Amino acid sequence: MSLSSLATPELNLEATSQSGGASAPTTRPMYYEYKPTETVRAQHGTTLRCKTWEAEAALRMLENNLDPAVSLVYDELIVYGGAGRAARNWKEYQTIVRTLKNLEADETMLVQSGKAVGVIRTWAHAPRVLIANSNLVPAWSTQEYFDELDRLGLMMYGQMTAGSWIYIATQGILQGTYETFAAVADKHFGGTLAGTVTVTAGLGGMSGAQPLAVTMNDGVCLVIEPIDTRVKQKVQEGYLDEQARDLDHALALCEQYKQARRGWSIGLTGNAATVLPELLQRGYRPDIVTDQTSAHDLMDYIPEGDIKAVLQLRKNNPEEFRRRALASIVKHCRAIIDLQAGGAVALDYGNNLRGQAEKGGLQVRDEHGQFLYPGFVPAYIRPLFCEGKGPFRWAALSGDPQDILRLDRALLETFPENRLLRRWIEKAQAKVPFIGLPARVCWLGYGEREKFGLVINDLVARGEVKAPIVIGRDHLDCGSVASPNRETEGMPDGSDAVADWPLLNALANTASGADWVSLHNGGGVGIGNSTHAGMVIVATGTPEKAERLRRVLTTDPGMGVFRHADAGYELAQQVAEERGVKIPAGK
């Protein structure tokens, strides 16, 4: 589909071509001549290259996103999620780095889809960086239109934390995944996954969290992944326990560890669209079935077939690749529905597999319009959102893991009554590797984030950690996203697609003094299917930063309470009343 074939303001393809010739490029321009000679990795220590710690923190987190140990496809600046990039291309990466290094303490860099487009004079307490990624006018917000702009080098896909420079590798989603499977255990299996088998698919940067999350809940997990090197990588990283030789071996291992009631994860090289129907044919029924392949964009879902041939097809014939991907998604999703009918607990893990299968002609909803199997947020997570809870994270700019371990201790000292938090930290310390800059994630709610943010700032001030700490969160948070097939699926007042909330979140965090704020389209579920906002603030140890931390870390989770109270959730309304969240009352 060409841009000019849509009823849109016309684009002159010759004028917008960055290839230097008269015709538009066939692939996005990456400007490899600007690629750094040394591999990009985050600088450690206390030596500044920028004029403020806030700008230095943004630079280090950008570098950390691209570290080959962290990123998915380093050469293309792809961090995770199929095509989620940290910068538009290597030329624009270099411009962003140079701009951050020269940014004054009262200046703000503006980033449009991975390209620095302006520097404005603001205030010392204003954000140093404002980012907008992948945003299109709603009627034009289609994958096809975006792809054409991307091909011309005019936009990039930022996913969630890729283009907002706060990705912390697979750990970033791990605790939320852990919390989800803990909720599944509580609801269906008496509080533990011991003696159960979960079957899922995908071992990318996000989906790689699922096997470890299941085993941390004492269950057995079988993960299907078409790219063999990803299976091996997750075993090496410690997110996966073992790689099976074939399906027979995998099922034998599942049965062995299920009978022993021992947490264990098995990776199987294969395609879910092939393996899940084979499980049905064999009469094998897992206890839980889900999926976290990259399905939001058909170009990122690997269809059935020889992997080398399939990847070559993606390069040579994208339209045929998409057709085959959609056909495989339909098979994959149908098998999940059939496994559910056979007794498995089925849940969608937010990659828009159901939505894509529906486009492919599969019936995925009942007569009332509800999905035949639920998304993880409405089924298990939404009560946490009502309390302003979500994936809160921090990273040590020093690069020293001891700084994170000191903060772990402070976290448990600050919330000694929270048994679930203690269990999470103990398991994370034992099982979660530090990849790139050392980091930690945990779910904290309204009031808790502010309290712990001030503790972190105090530890920086006293020198008990060696450098400032970056504090951020996933965009998948309580009040920062509108995503009708994921975070806002099934809102009781019907407001699933209302995108005012993430826009207000970005505005509120900017007004409250965050250090960088981002606003994206399409993260997790694909272009046109979500709007979401990101927030980062750096604890530098100063009294001025303590005041900003109070405001930002109250405002941000407060948006989640506002949003869910407005939708009619009594729990959110109760939290607002108990904790003094100011909601204007109508007469």
Annotated binding residues for NAD(+), as ranges?
A: 81-82, 159, 225, 230, 271-272, 292-296, 301-302, 349, 524
Q: Which amino acid is at 158?
A: G
Which residue(s) pair with 198 in the sheet?
A: 221, 288
Task: Return the number of other C-beta atoms located less than 10 Å from residue 228's C-beta.
Answer: 13
Three-class SS of residue 220?
A: strand
Please list, in sequence order, all residues whose beta carbon lies within 8 angstroms of the beta carbon of residue 347, skipping any fewer than 6 positions away. Answer: 180, 184, 288, 290, 373, 374, 375, 376, 379, 380
Of residues 379, 304, 385, the one with CA closest to residue 349: 379
- Residues at the binding site are 81-82, 159, 225, 230, 271-272, 292-296, 301-302, 349, 524
Q: How far apart are CA 105 and CA 141, in angstroms?
A: 36
Please say if 442 is a catalytic residue.
yes
Determine contact, residues 241/265, Cβ cutoff 8 Å. yes
Our CA dihedral for 317, 320, 324, 327, rounded to 10 degrees, sits at 160
Using CA of residue 395, residue 401, residue 403, residue 404, what is the dihedral sign?
A: positive
> How far from 528 is each of 87, 397, 496, 522, CA to CA, in Å?
20, 34, 14, 6
Which residue(s) pair with 132 in the sheet?
A: 112, 519
Please list, in sequence order, all residues whose beta carbon lies within 8 angstroms of the beta carbon of residue 397, skipping any fewer than 6 positions away. Answer: 44, 53, 56, 57, 60, 437, 467, 468, 469, 470, 538
Burial call 6-44: b when 16+ CB within 10 Å, e when fewer: beeeebebeeebeeeeeebbeebbbeeeebeeeebbbeb
Sheet holding 345-346, edge to edge: 242-243, 264-269, 220-225, 197-201, 288-289, 345-346
Of residues 162, 246, 169, the one with CA closest to residue 207: 169
Q: Of 254, 333, 442, 478, which residue is the catalytic one?
A: 442
| DSSP notation for 290-318 | ---S--SSGGGS--SS-HHHHHHHHHH-H
Determine contact, residues 130/109, Cβ cutoff 8 Å. yes
Three-class SS of residue 255?
A: helix
Determine contact, residues 557/479, Cβ cutoff 8 Å. yes
Please list, in sequence order, all residues whose beta carbon lies within 8 angstroms of the beta carbon of residue 70, skipping any fewer than 6 positions away. Answer: 64, 79, 167, 168, 169, 205, 435, 436
The residues assigned a catalytic role are: 442
